[in-house]
Structure 1
Amino acid sequence: MARGTNGNRWSTLDRDLGRVSTLEAASIYAVRPFVGAGLALLFMSVAAIVAALLFGISAASLAVIAASVFAAYMALNIGANDVANNMGPAVGAKALTMGGAIAIAAVCESAGALIGGREVISTVSTGIVDRPEFLETRTFTLVLLSAMLGAAFWLNLATLIGAPISTTHAVLGALVGAATCAAGIYAVHWDRLALIAAGWVASPLAGAAIAAALLALLQRAVIDPEDKIAAAHRWVPAMVGLMAAVFAVYLALRGLPHDARAPSPAEMAAALLAGLAAWAAARSAVRRQSLGLENRKRSLKVLFRLPLIFSAAILSFAHGANDVANAVGPLAAIVQVTASGEPGIEVEFPLWVTLIGAFGISAGLALFGPKLVRLVGDEITRLNPLRAYCVALAAGIIVICASWAGLPVSTTHITIGGVFGVGFFREWDHERRMAKVRGPEKRLPAEERARRRLVRRSHFLTIVAAWVVTVPAAALLAAATFLALNLATG
């Protein structure tokens, strides 16, 4: 009887502990968004404090302090939205865990920002705005502040609705909106903007086409042959070597502080040596990894995992080197205006400004990035290491070609285009193979074909719609911000 009583007593205690545990888990889940927001506010406050310590608190330094807060906010949003494109495929392919992806991206983004992001750049890098319209210091400063805040607002909204968009396009649209509001439509070179916009359409299509072509090549060269392991021994090192050479050329074009559009013969030779060294190292690694693997398709996932991680890491480095300017470029320009009293043609990045961009991007990815990492990697189409590597390599090739031509393109658009290209190729290839088995006279009904689609059309429509409205939406937000700031400071 006592045992039964004790049993009832312990079971009652277990039920009470279960309720407490459930309540605790629910409380943690409910509080989590507020923790991220609180840490983000803390980071922006630290940025303001650093600016105040360096410039003091005066009427002249208020613009720098405000710009530091806006730059920190912008960097957090870049990390939350843009970096998902580099790490999403690797996470979706199960080559990296979410924590591993965040750690690698944080290190590589920060390294790229600090090593390749501090070169002298033009304040208006795309050349679409007439600088003489903004020689008056106050107007110039308000335009930059408005562009930062308008672009950051739009990035924040896009992240909340789960739409990966281009930071570069948001900044460009915000700059156009603020500049037009400040000086009229003639301050913008609309013909140049139209030319750049044509590249925005072409780059995701090119990403889709090249990623699909690479997958078709690997399908025929690695997956279809009877001896898949031997085929992987030939192709995986070659692909790694190509990626290393592409990255070396990219560093020569965009990561190093010089103005040349084309690499010199010495830089091309260095890129070739880097590719050969990577090929040799990958060849040795693939031979070790393939020991004991069965000659089947699943084994290829193991052999392509390391190249995929490598490609994701170098894309994150390149992203940090280039997009840090989107976060802190206007801040650097305002710092120069405050120090010299007039806008300069070129702007030098102080170390503390670069650190705000580097740490902000990393913090934004860790605090708010997992949602879009999952969407890019797993919710558009199903990826494995081989497919994800095709996406990463396609992105690297197109970024190199665009840099060579001096065209501003979006890594977001290229990567997402590559993901869709891989997904649509798989649909086409699956339908083609099934048609051979069934015969053309036994084609499946339209409803069944729709059910078997390998790309989620809802995500496709949402993302494309967000791309289309990014420039006008950011422009309107920046214009409204300029009017508000002009009224408040006038």
Structure 2
Amino acid sequence: MPDVMLLMLVLVIGAALAFDYINGFHDTANAIATCVSTRALSVRSAIVMAAFLNFAGAMISTKVAATIGKGIVDASNVTQMVVLAGILGAIVWDLITWYYGLPASSSHAIIGGLMGAVIAHAGSGALHWKGLENIVLSLILSPIAGVILGFIVMVVMLWSFRRTAPHAINKQFRRLQVLSAAFMAFSHGTADAQKSMGVITMALVSYGTLSAFVVPTWVKIACAVAMGLGTAAGGWRIIKTVGKDFVKLQPVHGFCVETASAGVILGASSIGMPVSTTHVITSAILGVGLSKRLTAVNWNVAGRILVAWVLTIPASAVMAYVCYQVLNPFLGK
């Protein structure tokens, strides 16, 4: 029995790090799509920068990890199989949306996956509905904040440089956009790597290695490295959707998008709220596009993105539920 439990723990840690790796290349577009589409950086340079800063951001805080690890379900209802099935459900959905180039949320996917696995194990009564309400509320409010802040920053920039020729503005902001993309990559690390930190720590508490929910240093490093490596692998499909197909961007637009997005994400991470970096930056792009005109937005692409957003939590929950039912007879005993 102890050997089986140890095997399950190893599988959970491996799956969580795989999720972080996939999150890295799935969400690379969040930090670099705009600077690639505006030619402020080459794809290779942007990915290397994002990989390094994702790693750095992942190391600075564990508040979001604690929210994921303790805010969804009581520790008494968490088993290794629950955690493993939840991660696998999130991974499957991330890969599906990556294949079709849809910027769906890895944050939503891991939350939905854990919900589906817990329901399969102990029923819906085992969920922390109050904690889930707060998490879902932050995931709803953050895109709204992204749209509003993206719109405001863009309008302020347009007003501030209203007497400057567009060519001169974009020449200057092409340089500044490298800094804003770096800011965005760092903020992405503070938010997204912590989801896997929370999941692994949850599994360690369930196994008995930890007596309380405190993220070990080795978990921080492992998750940060996995996300950095995944980011280095790139994610051109989603970069194309976010940076080219959705709204046509110039360097000044990219700077406004990345600055607004990073501000929202870092603010949320500082209070432990697991916002979706995908949703925030996509919403900021929408806000910047709306500052130009309604027709600047490709509403067909916006519709596809919205469908992916709406489906992510229930779809990943269903997949995790199925994973639990399939694997539990073999590994759950």
- Normalising to structure 1: TM-score of the pair? 0.63
For residue 110 of structure 1, the aligned residue among 31, 37, 55 is 55
Q: Tell me whether 363-372 or 211-220 shows the greater mean CA deviation.
A: 363-372
For residue 172 of structure 2, the aligned residue among 303, 314, 318 is 303
Structure 2 partner of 1:150: 89
Contact 1:175 1:478 in 2 (8 A): yes
Following the alignment from structure 1 to structure 2, what is the Cα–Cα distance between the partners of residues 194 and 337? 24
Contact 1:78 1:327 in 2 (8 A): no
> Residue 339 of structure 1: CA displacement?
5.4
Structure 2 partner of 1:122: 66
Following the alignment from structure 2 to structure 1, what is the Cα–Cα distance between the partners of residues 191 and 211? 21
Residue 45 (structure 2) pairs with residue 87 (structure 1): no
Structure 1 partner of 2:215: 348
Following the alignment from structure 1 to structure 2, what is the Cα–Cα distance between the partners of residues 119 and 128? 14
Following the alignment from structure 1 to structure 2, what is the Cα–Cα distance between the partners of residues 213 and 474? 34
Following the alignment from structure 1 to structure 2, what is the Cα–Cα distance between the partners of residues 328 and 192? 18
SS at match of 1:144: helix
Structure 1 partner of 2:144: 205
CA offset digits 1:155-196 (Å, max 9, x no partner): 111111111122211111111111111111111133442343
SS at match of 1:388: helix
| Structure 2: tracts of 5 or more residues without a match | none
For residue 118 of structure 2, the aligned residue among 154, 168, 179 is 179
SS at match of 1:116: coil
Following the alignment from structure 2 to structure 1, what is the Cα–Cα distance between the partners of residues 228 and 240? 17
Identity %: 29
Structure 2 partner of 1:263: none
Structure 2 partner of 1:132: 76
CA RMSD of aligned residues (A): 2.4
Following the alignment from structure 1 to structure 2, what is the Cα–Cα distance between the partners of residues 64 and 406? 26
Contact 2:21 2:230 in 1 (8 A): yes
> Residue 407 of structure 1: CA displacement?
3.7
CA offset digits 1:79-121 (Å, max 9, x no partner): 12222111111111211110111110111112222x3156895
- Normalising to structure 2: TM-score of the pair? 0.90
Higher RCO (CA 8 Å, separation ≥ 6 residues): 2
Following the alignment from structure 2 to structure 1, what is the Cα–Cα distance between the partners of residues 255 and 298? 20
> Residue 65 of structure 1: CA displacement?
2.4
SS at match of 1:304: helix
> Residue 404 of structure 1: CA displacement?
5.7
Number of residue pairs matched by the alignment: 331
> Residue 124 of structure 1: CA displacement?
4.1
SS at match of 1:381: coil
Structure with higher Rg: it is 1
Contact 2:8 2:80 in 1 (8 A): yes
Contact 1:118 1:348 in 2 (8 A): yes
Contact 1:75 1:356 in 2 (8 A): no
> Residue 396 of structure 1: CA displacement?
2.5
Q: 1:420 to 1:155 in 2, by over 3 A?
A: same
Structure 2 partner of 1:360: 226
CA offset digits 1:37-58 (Å, max 9, x no partner): xxxxxxxxxxxxxxxxxxxx94
Contact 1:168 1:323 in 2 (8 A): yes
Structure 2 partner of 1:391: 257
* Mapping 1:260-299, distance limit 5 Å: 296-299=165-168
Structure 1 partner of 2:203: 334
For residue 76 of structure 1, the aligned residue among 17, 21, 24 is 21
Residue 160 (structure 2) pairs with residue 323 (structure 1): no
Residue 320 (structure 2) pairs with residue 478 (structure 1): yes
Structure 2 partner of 1:409: 275
> Residue 386 of structure 1: CA displacement?
0.7
Structure 2 partner of 1:243: none
> Residue 403 of structure 1: CA displacement?
4.3
Structure 2 partner of 1:34: none
Residue 8 (structure 2) pairs with residue 63 (structure 1): yes
| Structure 1: tracts of 5 or more residues without a match | 1-56, 135-139, 229-295, 429-452
Following the alignment from structure 1 to structure 2, what is the Cα–Cα distance between the partners of residues 207 and 402? 12
Contact 2:47 2:234 in 1 (8 A): no
Q: Letter of the aligned partner of 2:276 in structure 1?
A: S
